[in-house]
């Protein structure tokens, strides 16, 4: 069992909190860079390898800049994600536009930026033509094999129920149409299972996509230049989970590549990924202060963060490990529910969690919030979004997003007669 330790000490946190009040999300630049390098090393056998960071996981330009510096592009699926990508200077084939149910104006923007457009559906060929009048030289299509996706008899997920992607027959048809319209280079994409904690997912997915690629090359004559394994590599949210070994994952994909693509004369295909969680989740902490305790039918500790700052526990019952700063080695001999202040009983970061004895004012570190954390935030109960801070490689901390104020929350009333009463005008 590996220990989950915060990437900051209590002393560091106390100093940071003296400048930036809790709650906030704190990111670890050194960890982000180390992990990105390991990913690139694991796929260094593939000269065209590129990671397109899934911007939706953590849409902050300062972090996108760090990832860009590590060689990553951006996977976008909305107008504002495209704008963020543009703002950090990631354009052209540095952007993978993997959207679904796509509004026309987003196709227009993606095309203006020169992004690789990954079509979710065959009907989008016509929509794209209406939107931009032509077709880019390179296009990608998203595949959905249907049925259930199993790894050694375990059902991992149910692609047949998922709204994404095209059937094999539709992709074949789509490639034929796109080719006839002048598209010269093709890619295939699929995202079948989320948060996999197994070294087998990517190699299994790669086999499915590589075999499809060989088939499409033979039947349509399309020149396939990349295969996008998308997201889905998970992280061990629980301390008893075995982390993925990215080196083994890279080797597993390499083996299938040599088995399937190379003999088909496709040894020049680039491998792309669109990881979100794997790139950032472990390198973010939600830092929060204990502000209340309550002893009724259960023992509660109330913190100054709530589900609007991290929705995963409330939404999916997801486990997020919690460390009481400064009590890393104390025995976990007290059982608590750790709650936020929403008027919703699912606003609990932990239920029946064994932790060291907690006192008022203790600082709690909620782990693995670097992806799908802040970004899933919302404003229910009039709660405000927190700040985001970056712990830089030199140990200094910078504010990379300020906390919302009531003025931000009320800003969209600024046309109304209430604006003055709310102090906006």
Ligand X SMILES: *Cc1c(COP(=O)(O)O)cnc(C)c1O
- Chain residues binding ligand X by CB under 6 A are 54, 56-57, 75, 98, 191, 194-195, 230-232, 274-278, 371
| Cβ contact 159:192 at 8 Å | yes
- CB closer to ligand X out of 23 and 231: 231
- CB closer to ligand X out of 196 and 339: 196
Indicate if the alpha-carbon torsion angle 110, 113, 118, 123 is positive or negative.
positive
Strand, helix or coil at 302?
strand
Pairing of strands 284-295, 95-98: unpaired
- CB closer to ligand X out of 230 and 386: 230
- CB closer to ligand X out of 55 and 212: 55
DSSP string, 337-367: EEE-SSSSTT-EEEEEEEES---TTPEEEE-
Least separation in angstroms between CB 186 and ligand X? 18
Q: Is 153 left (phi over 0), alpha (psi -120 to 50) or beta?
A: left
Least separation in angstroms between CB 80 and ligand X? 15
Return the biggest CA–CA distance within the chain: 72
DSSP string, 214-280: HHHHHHH---EEEEE--S-B----STTSPPP-HHHHHHHHHHHIIIIIGGGT-TTPEEEE--SHHHH
Least separation in angstroms between CB 281 and ligand X? 8
Least separation in angstroms between CB 103 and ligand X? 16
Tokens of 117: 């457009």
| Listed residue (272, 275, 149, 145) closest to 201, CA to CA | 149
Q: Rounded CA gap, 146 and 212, in Å?
A: 14
Least separation in angstroms between CB 357 and ligand X? 35
Q: Rounded CA gap, 172 and 393, in Å?
A: 47
Least separation in angstroms between CB 37 and ligand X? 18
Q: Rounded CA gap, 28 and 283, in Å?
A: 5
Q: Rounded CA gap, 120 and 165, in Å?
A: 5
- CB closer to ligand X out of 237 and 278: 278
Least separation in angstroms between CB 38 and ligand X? 16
- CB closer to ligand X out of 186 and 191: 191
- CB closer to ligand X out of 75 and 362: 75
Least separation in angstroms between CB 323 and ligand X? 23
For residue 282, give every residue at least 6 positions away whose Cβ sits within 8 Å of its Cβ, in sequence order, or none: 31, 35, 235, 367, 368, 370
Least separation in angstroms between CB 264 and ligand X? 26
Least separation in angstroms between CB 154 and ligand X? 18
Beta strands in 109-183 (DSSP E): 116-119, 138-142, 149-151, 154-157
- CB closer to ligand X out of 23 and 232: 232
For residue 226, give every residue at least 6 positions away whose Cβ sits within 8 Å of its Cβ, in sequence order, or none: 48, 140, 187, 269, 270, 271, 272
- CB closer to ligand X out of 58 and 111: 58
- CB closer to ligand X out of 142 and 353: 142
């Amino acid at each position: 069992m590996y220990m989950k330790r915060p990437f900051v000490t209590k002393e560091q946190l106390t100093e940071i909190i003296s400048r930036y009040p809790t709650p906030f999300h704190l990111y670890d630049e050194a960890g982000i860079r180390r992990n990105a390098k390991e990913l690139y090393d694991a796929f260094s056998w593939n000269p065209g390898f590129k990671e397109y960071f899934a911007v939706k996981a953590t849409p902050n330009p300062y972090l996108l800049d760090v990832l860009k510096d590590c060689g990553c592009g951006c996977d976008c699926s909305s107008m504002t994600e495209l704008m963020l990508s543009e703002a950090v200077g990631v354009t052209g084939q540095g952007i993978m536009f993997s959207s679904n149910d796509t509004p026309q104006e987003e196709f227009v923007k993606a095309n203006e930026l020169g992004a690789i457009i990954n079509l979710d559906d065959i009907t989008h060929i016509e929509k794209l033509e209406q939107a931009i009048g032509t077709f880019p030289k390179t296009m990608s299509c998203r595949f959905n094999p249907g049925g259930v996706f199993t790894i050694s008899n375990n059902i991992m997920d149910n692609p047949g129920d998922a709204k994404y992607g095209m059937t094999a027959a539709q992709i074949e048809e789509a490639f034929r149409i796109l080719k006839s319209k002048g598209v010269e280079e093709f890619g295939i994409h699929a995202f079948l299972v989320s948060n996999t904690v197994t070294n087998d997912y990517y190699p299994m997915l790669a086999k499915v996509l590589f075999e499809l690629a060989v088939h499409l090359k033979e039947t349509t004559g399309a020149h396939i230049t990349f295969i996008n394994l998308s997201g889905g590599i998970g992280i061990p949210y629980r301390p008893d989970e075995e982390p993925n070994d990215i080196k083994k994952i890279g080797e597993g994909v390499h083996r299938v590549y040599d088995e399937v693509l190379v003999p088909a004369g496709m040894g020049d295909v680039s491998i792309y990924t669109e990881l979100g969680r794997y790139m950032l989740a472990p390198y973010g902490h939600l830092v929060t202060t204990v502000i209340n305790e309550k002893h009724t039918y259960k023992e509660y500790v109330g913190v100054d963060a709530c589900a609007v700052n991290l929705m995963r526990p409330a939404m999916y019952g997801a486990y997020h490990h919690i460390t009481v700063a400064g009590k890393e080695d104390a025995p976990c001999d007290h059982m608590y529910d750790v709650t936020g202040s929403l008027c919703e009983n699912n606003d609990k970061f932990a239920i029946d969690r064994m932790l060291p004895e907690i006192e008022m004012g203790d600082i709690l570190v909620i782990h693995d919030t670097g992806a799908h954390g802040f970004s899933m935030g919302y404003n229910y109960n009039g709660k405000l979004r927190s700040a985001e801070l970056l712990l830089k490689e030199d140990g200094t901390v910078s504010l990379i997003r300020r906390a919302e104020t009531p003025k931000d929350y009320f800003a969209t009333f600024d046309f109304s007669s209430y604006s003055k009463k709310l102090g906006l005008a």
